[in-house]
Structure formats: C-alpha cells, structure tokens
Amino acid sequence: MINLDHTAPIVENVFGISWLDFNLSNVLMIAVASLIVFLFSVWGSRNLQMKPTGMQNFMEWIVGFVKGIINDTMDWKTGKVFLPLGLTLITYILVSNLLGVMTMGVVGHDLWWKSPTADATLTLTLSAMVIVLTNFYGIKMRGPKAYFKEYVSPVPLMLPFKIIEEFTNTLTLGLRLFGNIFAGEVLLSLLVGLATTGVLGFIGAALPMMAWQGFSLFIGGIQAFVFTMLTMVYMSHKVTNDH
Amino acid sequence: MHSYLGYLTIGATVGGLRVGDMLVQLFFFLLLLYFVKKFAWGPLMNKMQEREEYVAGEIESAEKSRLEAEKASIEAAAQLNNVKLEAQKLIEDAKSAGMKQEQDIVESARKEADQIIQAAQADIQNEKEKAIQALQDKVASLSVLIASKVIEKEISAQDQEKLINDYIKEVGEER
C-alpha cells in the first residue's frame, strides 16, 4: 500500500457474520456516485420535449454515443435491450472515476473520499456482474442448446479454454479499470505529498499536478468508454449467432 | 514526507476482497440501473423514438403533399389551356356570328329599301295616272264651259227667244 498512514474505515464481522466485512469508504462512495448519477440523469431528462433544448440535447447525445457503441458490436435489433445497461455503466463509471480526480477526503487517518473504481473489489464486482449478464442473455436470447454448443465449437478441445476465457475476461475487464484509476490516484497522492513538503515543493508540484489531473480526467473518460465497449463486445459474443 | 499529509489530500488504497463491499456495489448498481432506466433513460428513449416516428411521418406527409401539389399544378395547367382554347373558340364564334348578322342586316336593309322604292314608284305612277285622269275630266268640263261662254256671248235676244221657243216646242212635242 502506498499511503501507509492512510487506513480504510473497515468494519468486520457485521451482524456477527464472520465473512461479512465492509469498507465504509467504499459504501459511502458507491452511494455518492450512484446518487450523483441518478440525480444527474433525472435532472437531465426532466421536462422532455419534441424539440430538445440544452440539457436534453446533451442527454440525447449520450444516448446516441452508447447507441453507437452497441451498433459497432451487434445489430440494433438484438442490442437495444442493452442500451440502459450501457448508459448506466458509462455514466456510473465516469462519475466514479472523476470523483477521485476532483478531490480526496481523509478524516483522521481514514481515507473516506476517493474513486470507488480505485478499489479492485468493486471493479471486479462490476466486471463479474457484466460477465454473468452476458451468459444470462446468451442463454435467454439463443436458447440453452446454442449457448452450450458455443463452448465446444469449433472442436470440443476448446471447452477448457472457453471456460477459462470467462474468468480471464472478468479479471481483465475489472483490473484494467481498477489499474488505470488506482495508478492515477497514486500519482496524485505522491504529488500532494510533494506539495505539502513546503513552499518549493508546492510550486514544484502545482504544474505536474494540474497536468496529471487533466490526464486523469481523460483517463477516466477513456476507461468508462472502454469498459462499456468491452461489455458490449462480450455481450455480442454471447447473443449473436454469426461469428 | 508522510507526516506532512493533511486532511484534504489525495490518495488511494487497494483494499482487500471484502464480500460486503461486493454486495453493496452490486445492490447499488442494480438499484441505480433500475431507477435511471425508469426515471431518466426510459422516458428519454421513448421521447427519441416518438420524435423519430414523428419526423418519419412528417417527411412522408410532406412527400405526399408534394406529389399532390404537383398533380394539382399539372391539372391546373391543363385546365388553363382548355379554358384558353375555349375562350379563343368563343371569340371566333362571336366574330363569325357578328359578321353574319352584319351581312343579314345589310341584306334586309337593302331589301326593305328596294321595297320602299318600288312602292314609292308605284304610288308615283298611280298619282300620275290619277292626275292625268283628273286633268282630262277638267279639260272636258272646261271646254264645255268655255264653249258655253262663247255661245252665250254670240246669241242675241232674238235668237234666244227663238231658242226658248224651240225648246218649249220640243217639250210640247215630246208630250
């Protein structure tokens, strides 16, 4: 761990259940990110009109953007049910990524305010959820027979690789997001450490910090896009017949 | 260096693999998915769909009305042409009718004039004959009158008496 003096607000054995541990910082940040996304989405799509103005245009641009991602990977007829999933993923991950770039909050020695996506547990949860969803829709849309046949095509020898692929997909999808965001936050924390050493340190750290925050914004956007894109790619592998 | 870290600082922790966090993340994400779908993206997508259909319908109706307008304009042009032809025909008819009427009028006028002339000539002839007749009658009586005057002058009293006597005689004899 980089910040040795920063601990996480962890509570263990909740309700006396030995495996149920919570990182309260994660719980807080998940709630905050969800709330922001929810309020923003509802605020942006209130007062809908046939002739869109201002915010509605922006929301429709987001819809069009995610629609474009889905259209790149599968045809629109099968893909349109995934539009809300894609929209929620891209907005939630983007907001989560940016939460940690704007500021960090430490209370006492506990790190409370950060990106929820800078925690591997949470990104892996998201990616596992996505992979489970792809399998679920694979069965639902193509039927169990076609779904299971996919595992042994073109030859039965592929079966172990196909099964391993599901887990590697989960890991790469989750860890890519986590790694990018976590690395960004580590570098930011180092720069803050430099800035707090004194006047010279502050002057020296100011410029690279601004640059790195700008870059983190960029990374946050890119990673949200990549996560959504890959979700749709995996989804299309499961729900389309032609490949 | 770490001792300088303040309250508002930037940092991150990797964190362990805690089941509670996973459940919270999953719960919140699915909840969020449900709510934004219901309250934000759902209505928005419906609106976009509605607009798409509206625009398609409008384009279709515009196309239709354009075709109709084209048809109507062609019809109007044809009708205009017809009307023009008709008008030309009417004018020509009127012209020829006028010409004919003119000829008729001239013809009948001429006839009438001829008749009047003939009647006048007949009248003149008639009057002439009457005048001649009257003149002849007058001449006869005048000549008698003149003759009687002349006779009157030349007869003497003696003769007159003789005449009267003769007349009386004649009358007596006749009885």
For residue B62, give both structure tokens.
Answer: 């515009």
Exposed, middle or buried by CB within 10 Å (0-12, 13-18, 19+), for A37? buried
Confirm whether A140 is domain-assigned. Answer: yes
Distance of alpha carbon A189 from the chain centroid: 21
Mutation target for B interface from A32, A70, A121: give the one with most B CBs within 10 A. Answer: A121
Number of domains in chain B: 1
Whether A1 maps to a domain, the answer reads no
Please name the amino acid found at residue B153.
Answer: K
Which residue from B minimizes the CA distance to A28? B24
Range of the domain at A167: 10-239
Interface probe, candidates B1, B9, B10, B49, chain A, greatest A C-beta count within 10 A: B10
Whether B21 and A85 lie within 8 Å, measured CB to CB: no
Domain hosting residue B151, numbered range: 18-174
Nearest alpha carbon to residue A127 among A80, A183, A79, A172: A172
- ipTM score here? 0.84
Residue B22's alpha-carbon distances to A6, A125, B31, in angstroms, are 22, 6, 14
Tell me the pLDDT of chain B (175 aa) as tens digits: 343 333 333 344 445 577 888 888 889 999 999 998 888 888 888 888 888 899 999 999 999 999 999 999 999 999 999 999 999 999 999 999 999 999 999 999 999 999 999 999 999 999 999 999 988 888 888 888 888 888 777 777 788 788 888 888 888 776 5
- Evaluate whether residue A134 is within a structural domain: yes
- Residue pair A45/B40 in contact by the 8 Å Cβ criterion: yes
Tell me which residue of A109, A89, A56, A47 sits closest to A226, measured CA to CA: A89
- The strand pairing partners of A11, in sequence order, are A22
Burial A192-217 (b: 16+ CB within 10 A, else e): bbbbbeeeebeeebeebbeebbeebb
- The residue type at A157: L
Q: Is the dihedral of CA A135, A140, A143, A144 positive or negative?
A: positive
Cα dihedral A215, A217, A218, A219, rounded to 10, equals: 90
Determine, for residues A116 and B25 on separate chains, whether the beta-carbon distance falls below 8 Å: yes
Phi-psi region of A12 (alpha: psi -120 to 50; beta: other; left: phi over 0): beta
B85: closest CA of chain A, how far (Å) = 51
Task: Please give the backbone phi and psi of residue A105, each rounded to the nearest 5 degrees, phi first.
Answer: -120, 125
B4 occurs within a structural domain: no
B55 touches chain A (CB under 8 A): no
B144 backbone dihedrals φ, ψ, rounded to 5°: -65, -45
Contacting residues of B for A189, CB less than 8 Å apart: 9-12
Rounded to the nearest angstrom, the minimum Cα separation between A150 and chain B is 28
Q: How far apart are CA A170 and CA B166, in angstroms?
A: 190
For chain A, list residues with pLDDT below 70: 1-8, 12-14, 16-19, 103-110, 242-243
How many independent structural domains does chain A possess? 1
A 142-161 residues inside an 8 A Cβ radius of B? none
Q: Are A121 and B15 in contact (CB under 8 A)?
A: yes
Q: Is position A5 within any domain?
A: no
A105 belongs to a structural domain: yes
pLDDT at position B70 is 96
When computed from its CA atoms, the radius of gyration of chain B, rounded to whole angstroms, is 69
Q: In Å, how far are A26, A171, A188 from A103, measured between CA atoms? A: 15, 28, 10
Pick from A38, A87, A196: which is nearest to B5 by CB?
A196
Position B79, amino acid: Q
What's the token pair of residue A42? 């509802």
Is A40 inside a domain boundary?
yes
Tell me the C-alpha distance between A61 and A225, whole Å: 14
